[in-house]
Amino acid sequence: MAGSLWLYAGLVLLVGFERVAELVVSLRNAAWSFAQGGVESGKGHYPFMVVLHTGLLAGCLVEAIVADRPFVPWLGFVMLAVVVLAQGLRWWCITVLGRQWNTRVIVVPGLSLVAAGPYRWVRHPNYVAVVLEGIALPLVHTAWITALVFTVLNVPLLAVRIRAEEAALATVLGAAPAK
């Protein structure tokens, strides 16, 4: 593998480690949420989400290696900046939501909607981070097929996920679903 491909593999591996860190936080928050009477919704789509996000990481590497995708500096560095910004946005969301953040849809009765941080401007800012990362991470090393396939598969997944979250919030918190 060329030098840029090794660096790219390192980047994808770092994002993979970041995902593991998210899961650790998510498991801790899920345990707390359930102990507080949390109610889980939308379990059906979760396995597909795990497979899709794992596939994104694998697809980035497989396409870059098998299709011998080049590193194009003007594209790669811009997309790398987008990946870093997406990670920053994701962890801002995690920090602002605190114990309420989870990779699953778990709502604790009696808690109010969070309207701080990025939630002041966007109802689901974590999904903005997911969309940006799903496009940018593959394009760091011009893996455009992975970016396209992930994005096309992620659109219906996000539609289902957001509907599940909105329904859970409306039912458990008495919040009006976003339109």
> What local confidence, expressed as pLDDT, does residue 179 receive?
46
> What local confidence, expressed as pLDDT, does residue 65 receive?
96
Complete DSSP assignment for 92-146: HHHHHHGGG--SSEEE-TTPPPP-SGGGGT-S-HHHHHHHHHHHHHHHTTT-HHH
Fold of the CATH domain 3-172 = Four Helix Bundle (Hemerythrin (Met), subunit A) (1.20.120)
Domain ranges of the chain: 3-172
Residue pLDDT, tens place only, 38-95: 999 999 999 999 999 999 999 999 999 999 999 999 999 999 999 999 999 999 999 9
Would the pLDDT of 128 be above 60? yes
**What is the pTM for the complete model shown?**
0.92
Give the model's confidence band at 3: pLDDT under 50 very low, under 70 low, under 90 confident, else very high: confident
